[in-house]
Amino acid sequence: MSAPLLIETIQQLVADALEAARQEGVLQLETMPVIQVERPGKSEHGDFATNLPLRLAKATRINPLELAQLLAAHIPTGDIIDRVEAAPPGFVNFYLKESWLQQQVETVRQAGNSFGNVDAGQGRRMMIEFVSVNPTGPVHVGHTRGAVLGSALANVLEAAGYDVTREYYINDAGTQMQAFYRSVLTRYKEALGREAQMPENGYQGDYIIDLAKEIIESEGSRFLDQDEEQAIKEIGDISREKMVAVIGQDLAGIGVEFDNWFSERDLFEAGEYDTAINILRDNDYLSERDEALWFNSTMLGDEKDNVVVRSSGEPTYFASDIAYHYNKFVSRGFDTVVDIWGADHQGHVPRMKSAVQALGIEPDRLTVLISQMVTLRRGDQVVKASKRTGDFVTLKELAEEVGKDACRFFFLARTPATQMEFDLELAKKESSENPVYYVQYAHARNASILKLARERNIDWSTGDVSLLTDPSELELIRSMLRLPELVTQMAATLEPHHLPHYAMDLANAFHGFYENCRVVSSNEEDNAISAARLKLVESAQIVFRRSLEMMGMSAPERM
């Protein structure tokens, strides 16, 4: 069990004060209220504040300001809290002790790269499944948002103490894949001078032609005179494998990595598809109509029922997704599962939740995060994204044009619920003045100070942090200390988009400190303060590194 967060300590202080006042009889209260402690927007209002008096005024019939004064009088100061003040119209403001803040520099240095870790997750097993685009073509820009969101969220949850598995679901059993295989075979035949007809739902992109050529290079023309079905099967296996590899490489290019690539086909081979369907049948959620098998999700409040097995006998995508979630929760025993889907799948959410419930799994254990569409522009021109026509900008192109770090920062800073327009020209043009560089520059500056100190053989290990009294020094420390709190919050709400904003604030505090406080000095009388400040710089670097790392961005020493 790690130490409680600072904000939790404050909450406890308020709770104790409330209890003390009640015992003294100065306060009548039926039930203990929920105590909200927040970070005030203005520094005059202290480091923490609670609005409890305002919320309690009615029940206690005491004037909120008087109530605030009463509470403030019951809160002890000590090593951490310098003073507690009541403020109109009814806040209690907490001010941290300078000596305590200074001491935190040592705490951060000792924590090192584990600074920012909390144990909210307590080792619970969590799966994040994201991207999961059909391996019928390369990943395009539209998928980037979910990819970046998922990878950053996974990092945050790991820092929050969850045992996280990042998974990519390969939809390799459906009709789309058949169309893809046939498209490759067609291009293969064409490349070898044969007449071939592209299937109606075939994929037109040039990458199919390249893929066919690659297959000719490694396999020759041996599929040409093979039985059609056999050729599709063999060429299909090769194509799928190559496509999955390309997708993996492209995603790795923007720092998105997976712990596991899960194949849809395995669900059928391992019999989990049958098991899941049988559970639904046993629980009376299935019925046959029009020669198809339906999942009666209206029984669970859905708008309409959904087909699980087509009249042709083929299972739908939904059916294998049910089996997949059975696999996640039951076979592999994940405590909670997060799916990240694009907005075009939002209609699928209620029935997926229903299906999970029908399998006998508490539906709250599944959270589906929807990331809204990204529409692409190049200047005035809207770029249409269709994999089938091959008219799209790939993730790889985007990464090459804009850069991995800027790309991640850009997508990460926005809440997934807002639809966004991405102007490629603008992104490229602005990349040199992108906020991402503001953060990285602060880190590089930080690193170069330490480098200089080492070059001059300065030993700062005995630095006395109590010399750090400049407002900008204390501001920087305060900013650093917000990280663990932020990690807790982001993990609870599954909202990593706060991270870039925090990093900006931290960078701002660092630049402010840099302007006001000379760190490395050639004056001998500055040696003591210099050593103290080097400790601060060192601890700030830890926090920069942790923040950038969670965002999946690089922390350059030089730019």
Partner RNA sequence: GCGCUUGUAGCUCAGCGGAUAGAGCACUGGCUUGCGGAGCCAGGGGUCGUGGGUUCAAAUCCCGCCAAGCGCACCA
Residues 390-419 that bind RNA (CB under 7 A): 413-415, 417-419
Helix (H) or strand (E) holding 139: none
Residue 485 in 3-state DSSP? helix
Q: Does 126 bind RNA (CB under 7 A)?
A: no
Our CB check for RNA shows the closer of 226 and 472 to be 472
Give the residue, chosen from 65, 238, 444, 494, that forms a contact with RNA under the rule CB under 7 A: 444
Burial (CB count <10 Å: 0-12, 13-18, 19+), residue 363: middle
Q: Does 176 bind RNA (CB under 7 A)?
A: yes
For residue 241, what are the contacts with CB-CB under 8 A and spacing of at least 6?
A: none
Torsion sign across C-alpha atoms 234, 236, 242, 244: negative
Burial (CB count <10 Å: 0-12, 13-18, 19+), residue 238: middle
- Residues 243-302 within binding reach of RNA (CB under 7 A): 289-292
Please give the span between the terminal C-alpha atoms of the chain, in angstroms, as a whole number.
40
What does the per-residue mask of binding to RNA show for 295-314, with x meaning CB under 7 A?
--------xx--x--xxx--
Least separation in angstroms between CB 3 and RNA? 25
Q: Which phi and psi angles does 437 have, rounded to 5°?
A: -75, -25
Q: Does 433 bind RNA (CB under 7 A)?
A: yes
Distance of CA 227 to the CA centre of its chain: 47
For residue 232, what are the contacts with CB-CB under 8 A and spacing of at least 6?
A: 178, 181, 182, 185
What is the total count of residues that contact RNA (CB under 7 A)? 90
- Residues 71-100 within binding reach of RNA (CB under 7 A): 87, 89-91, 93
Our CB check for RNA shows the closer of 215 and 447 to be 447
Distance of CA 100 to the CA centre of its chain: 32
Our CB check for RNA shows the closer of 44 and 227 to be 44
Our CB check for RNA shows the closer of 25 and 379 to be 379
Least separation in angstroms between CB 528 and RNA? 14
What does the per-residue mask of binding to RNA show for 193-232, with x meaning CB under 7 A?
----------------------------------------
Per CB under 7 A, the segment of 170-178, 252-260, 390-398, 460-468 that binds RNA is 170-178
Our CB check for RNA shows the closer of 51 and 263 to be 51
- Write b or e for each residue in 201-233: b if 16 or more Cβ atoms lie within 10 A of its Cβ, otherwise e: ebbbbebbbebbeebbeeeeeebeeeeeeebbe
Q: Does 462 bind RNA (CB under 7 A)?
A: no
State both tokens at 559.
């730019």
Least separation in angstroms between CB 487 and RNA? 15
Q: Does 164 bind RNA (CB under 7 A)?
A: no
Q: Does 498 bind RNA (CB under 7 A)?
A: yes
